[in-house]
Amino acid sequence: MTANSRCSAAEPPGLETQRREIESLLRECELRAGDSWYVVEHRWFEQWKEFVDGGDQNSSSFPGQIDNSDLFEDLDSYHLKERLVENEDFVLVPAEAWHKLLAWYGMVDSQPPLERKVVDLPSTLKVEVYPVEVFLCLHSNMENVITAQFSRTDNIQSIQRAMCQSFSVPSGSECRLWMKSSDTNCERLRNIHMSVLDTCLSSGMTVIMETRNADGTWPISLLNSVEDQDSYRGQPGVCGLTNLGNTCFMNSALQCLSNTPPLTEYFLQSSYLEELNFTNPLGMKGEIAEAYADVIKQMWSGRHYSVVPRVFKTKVGHFASQFLGYQQHDSQELLSFLLDGLHEDLNRVKNKEYIELRDADGRPDQEVAEEAWRNHRRRNDSVIVDTFHGLFKSTLVCPECHKVSVTFDPFCYLSIPLPVSKERVMEVFFVSLDPHAKPVQHRVVVPKAGKVSDLCLALSEMTAVPPTQMVVADVFNHRFYRIYSDDESLSCILDRDDIFVYELSVLEEQDQVLLALYLRERSHYRDYGSGSSSYGTTLFGHPLLLNVRRNEQQEAADELRPSQTELSCSETSTNSRSDDTATAAPPPDINHKQPSLDRGDTETCTESHNQTEPRCITDASSTPADNAIPSGDSTRSADANVDLEPAAEPSESTEEEKEENKQEEACSPSPPPNEQPAKRRACHKRRKSLFTIQAVNSNGTTERGTGEGGINESRFSAAQPYVAIDWDPDMKKRFYNENEAEKYVKHSSMEVPQQQATVQLQECIELFTTVETLEEENPWYCPVCKKHQLATKKLDLWSLPEVLIIHLKRFSYTKFTREKLDSIVEFPLSLSNGEPPSCYDLIAVSNHYGGLRDGHYTSYAMNKDNGQWYYFDDSKVTFATEDQIVTNAAYVLFYHRQDKMRKPTLANPSTGPAPSRSANDITSCKDDDAELGAASYVTMETD
């Protein structure tokens, strides 16, 4: 079967065989350049694993057809969403495993398989989930733009060939390519044999081809490139960095280092040339240091308002594969790599000697610390050590023998924790039993380490509904992705999940069943191509949860058949409320109560239930649609017994309806000869049902082995039954108002602004130096007990460097949760840890705006020459004031020791008007709102 096959799925082998075959392929397949792997939506794959692990062919977790819908931005272009995360949004499976899954389960119609190639990148093999997607055009016709995808291993010549073919450029024409990285900047692609990766060509950029004129000249409009900025003259160091595609994290870190005076002066004076270490096996042959020096010299030349750090980005990708490509990364991680890389490239120690470390053995701390620092400098001696390295004092105490071990360890930066709140704010939708109530969005405070029962308890205080009458579910793509039990941890629920809490009816019997109800729309035509005569269906609206008695549920399994589940329009609630609010599709009448019909002119067909034809009622199709607007979640019955209200009186049939009736009569089989004509007419008028009821699995697909309208009795007896109300498309269009169905109201808790937590930097430092017990995964070997112990550990700051870097650990990762802490850390512009030389002034801040999966990095920095603060947002640079710097976006802080700082050599420009330049140049700002910070005067551009 080919990857594009759309035929029906083959009968799969047993579940254990499926599991074993796929797991074996995932375990044994290695990445080989050129091989194909496939992208599969994570939730579908997890549901498949749950299905095969359950060991039951009729399990409710049957995943259905492979469905990658959630990976696409839209289902027209099938363009992959940006920043999808492996093993969170998708999984990668080798080609053989993909073909097996496709043969067993099939794929949702019209979806393309997401085939991706393995590429051989520097130092790593990688499945290229996101090929580089660029725009191509000719200089002579810039409006005719086409989109094309290329691998990062493709060379520029392959792009040139593709453009010549696409634009019918005559063979033999002399041409050259330009890469357009912004509205005004173009850069020549000189070496056509370089790879896409090495040129830093990224998605969203435009490649322009120009051909030589007949007179031998080239078009002149492209000469306004980044290579021609000699006429610009500005303040050295006040220079933006072009975003190459999700590289704001790199730009933020570079701006902070660029405004670190001792390091920048070291490179501007070319001192690094004498100290490049080309033989250090831990280094990068001096290439990182040279690339960094090139960027710094351009930024401080005063000739550029923005620099394109392509060569630097390429070098970083060569030596640190985690920074390959154009995914978003962490500015602190890049900073850590860069400081280490610069140190090894500039290490003055050519041959590192082996040094045996000695224990303190009761010696004075001062003596042990000096020995540790000497040993460190014997192996590590560079401008990075001179500027950024300090010493920790680490004290370990054995809990058994009380052995005390004191060591002094070097550090390059401090990673300090933020106080973590023990509470969590969650937003959920509450679905009441009140048939006229819309879902209500609530904001509740729950214990961060709590259980689902804690969520119900918190919601109970707002709704007055007992928590025992609540059930919590994750709704995804119109179905229940997961229904939680009370004792499950809240850490299983992510902030981005759509959580619904349903109120359940109180039943006296102990033997109860939770019934899940889906809404589906039938297609107009039977799906003969799938090998069955059933209708195709599509889920819509919000699903429901009902509490029913098990005996009634079993009766439903025995009695519900297609002939008895076809409800007429007149059997549904018109619910003509004055506010025209949407009402839910009524759940199935489990007890089969006779609908209340009190209108004298309503015709009924009083056939016995033994007959094969359904009970019939006169056509109510002329009822105004806004008087009967069932929705997916607004109306719930107090229990599973539903009294269906009478329909509106019939009216004259339209010509269209008469024509439909004629067609239906012509297509209908001949009635039994003994059937009375009047009865036939009455029954025929109700031939078209509003909806039917089907037993389905948790994925919302009809159980295998049951025909249209069939009920799988063993399925209904399961602990968690699922049914679907299948709407006739014409009836849905007439009676279902999708706009009303999607509406909800906000509880007053949503209007209360969340309190912004504020902590002092000193609190974070104290938390960093607090005594802690080692984790089981990282014990300490006690030399006295001769075994590993969970010792207590305390860190103290012994000696501080000239430039102190403080990393605020905003990103919290545990075994179960991942979150970003948005607390405001009040950090001073002048930091004192006692008498000089422990007094520091703030010189730069790396900021992160956004959450875990996306966001934007910027930076504040003080220019060493004029003492003015600036805000750097990629290529944009603006003036900043000191009261704008402290925000909840602060992520990495740079402090310079006061006794090492020099006074600015130029006047502070903020006292006078800023020069008027282009949109990318400096603009004067007067906004003093510290809460808004940079966002108040800079248009944020999320990567």
- Whether 471 contacts 502, CB under 8 Å: yes
Annotated active-site residue in 137, 186, 200, 248: 248
Q: Which residues contact 251 (CB under 8 A, 6 or more apart)?
A: 241, 243, 309, 857, 859, 872, 874
User: Whole-angstrom Cα distance, residue 457 to residue 622?
Assistant: 46
Count of positions (residues) in the chain: 943
User: Whole-angstrom Cα distance, residue 251 to residue 74?
Assistant: 31
Neighbour tally for 801: CB within 10 Å: 21
Crossing angle of helices 287-299 and 248-258, rounded to 10°: 80
Tokens of 215: 């007179």
Query: In the annotation, is 139 catalytic?
Result: no
Annotated active-site residue in 782, 856, 896, 925: 856
DSSP E strand boundaries for 161-309: 175-180, 186-189, 206-211, 240-241, 306-307
Q: Which amino acid is at 582?
A: A
> 764 phi and psi, to 5 degrees?
-65, -40
Closest to 547 (Cα-Cα) out of 636, 443, 652: 636
> 384 phi and psi, to 5 degrees?
-70, -40
β-strand 175-180 against 186-189: which pairing, if any? antiparallel
Q: Which residues contact 362 (CB under 8 A, 6 or more apart)?
A: none
Closest to 757 (Cα-Cα) out of 425, 444, 494: 425
SS3 for 706?
A: coil
Query: In the annotation, is 248 catalytic?
Result: yes
- The upper half-sphere exposure of residue 620, i.e. CA atoms within 13 Å in the direction of its Cβ, equals 29
Q: In which residue are the tokens 């460097």 written?
A: 801
The DSSP secondary structure of 110-122, one letter per residue, reads: TPPP-EEEEEEET
- Whether 623 contacts 574, CB under 8 Å: yes
Closest to 249 (Cα-Cα) out of 152, 153, 336, 133: 336
Q: Which amino acid is at 866?
A: N
User: Whole-angstrom Cα distance, residue 682 to residue 685?
Assistant: 5
Tokens of 661: 């009736």
Burial of 730 by CB count in 10 Å (0-12 exposed, 13-18 middle, 19+ buried)? Answer: middle
Instruction: Count the helix, strand and coil residues of the chain and give each as a percent rounded to the nearest 5.
Output: 25, 25, 50
Distances (CA, A) of 49 to 54, 55, 280, 794, 880: 8, 10, 48, 44, 53
- Whether 460 contacts 470, CB under 8 Å: yes
Distances (CA, A) of 255 to 241, 517, 917: 8, 56, 21
Q: Indicate the helix (H) or strand (E) that contains 518.
A: strand 512-526
Q: Buried b vs exposed e over 536-554: b needs ≥16 C-beta within 10 Å? A: bbebbbbbbbbbbbbebbb
The DSSP secondary structure of 577-633, one letter per residue, reads: -TT---EEPPPP-TT-PPP----TT--EE---TTSSSPPEE---TTS-GGG--EESS
Q: Which residues contact 707 (CB under 8 A, 6 or more apart)?
A: 532, 533, 534
User: Whole-angstrom Cα distance, residue 32 to residue 49?
Assistant: 26
Q: In which residue are the tokens 């939770």 written?
A: 514
Closest to 259 (Cα-Cα) out of 862, 865, 791, 917: 862
Active site residues: 248, 856
